[in-house]
Amino acid sequence: MSKELEKNYNPSEIEDRLYHKWLEKKYFHAEVNRDKKPFTIVMPPPNITGKLHMGHALDNTMQDIIIRFKRMQGYEALWIPGTDHASISTEVKVTNALKEEGIDKHELGREGFLKRTWEWKKEYGGTITSQLKKIGSSCDWDRERFTMDDGCSKAVLEVFCKLYEKGLISDEKIFYFQVKLSDYKDKFKAGTYSLNTGMKPTDMMKILAGISTTDTGDSE
């Protein structure tokens, strides 16, 4: 029995169903494959300060063309999606949103403001992901990342520590950021401690957190 085609193209009836099928069949998922050459694109993560614009659509369409072409060439092609916390810009956006509600961010306190910021991320980060899917982006959504994910933060800390230990970083300000990214933040205890330049940053953090009392290296 023949079916008469619709006179007008209705994308909502076709594209969502087709994209869902692509995801269900794992067409965009990549695995380590020794029989194929790898090809990877890490999406420049859009900021969660708002919604995607035409520039994002153009950029991601170009990436999509490349990654699909590489798949057809036989590569194990991986396109990693994600979003960026955009720290200061997002803080401004959340602060302005609070002002519209008649709330001063200082009244909320640190934890309260962080809670509202994560709520903002959930709303706008989710919108961005939906928009990327709407334009048919063939990303591996199993590997979606946010720049404040624990794994990303730990990777940054690990790299900083390795650079520090190799003598490539010597500014005390770096140690401050290492602490902020570590599992020891907010765990330091007041007191007098004996630290020296021979210690690794992680050793110093353990002592300051009261986890270890062992000194290593030469005294300063």
Domain boundaries, the chain: 11-146, 151-208
Q: Where do the H-state alpha helices sit in the chain?
A: 11-24, 54-72, 87-100, 105-134, 150-165, 172-181, 201-208
Instruction: Classify 187 as helix, strand or coil.
Output: coil
Q: Quick one: pLDDT at residue 80?
A: 96
Say how far residue 139 (Cα) sits from the centre of its chain: 15
User: What are the Cα distances from residue 170, in Å, to 33, 161, 176, 216?
Assistant: 41, 11, 12, 18
C-alpha distance across the termini of the chain, in Å: 88
Beta strands 82-83; 145-146: pairing state = parallel
- The whole-number pLDDT of residue 218 equals 39
What superfamily in CATH does domain 11-146 come from? HUPs (3.40.50.620)
What pLDDT score does 8 carry?
Answer: 84
The SS3 assignment for 145 reads strand
Hey, what are 115's tokens?
């809670």
pLDDT (tens place) for every residue of the chain, 220 residues total: 567 777 888 888 889 999 999 999 999 999 999 999 999 999 999 999 989 999 999 999 999 999 999 999 999 999 999 999 888 889 999 999 999 999 998 888 889 999 999 999 999 999 999 999 999 999 999 999 998 888 888 887 888 788 777 776 666 666 776 777 777 777 776 666 777 767 777 777 888 777 765 544 433 3
Give the distance from CA 155 to its chain's centroid. Answer: 11
pTM of structure: 0.69
d(CA 69, CA 77): 9
Residue 173's pLDDT is 66
Q: What is the pLDDT of residue 197?
A: 65
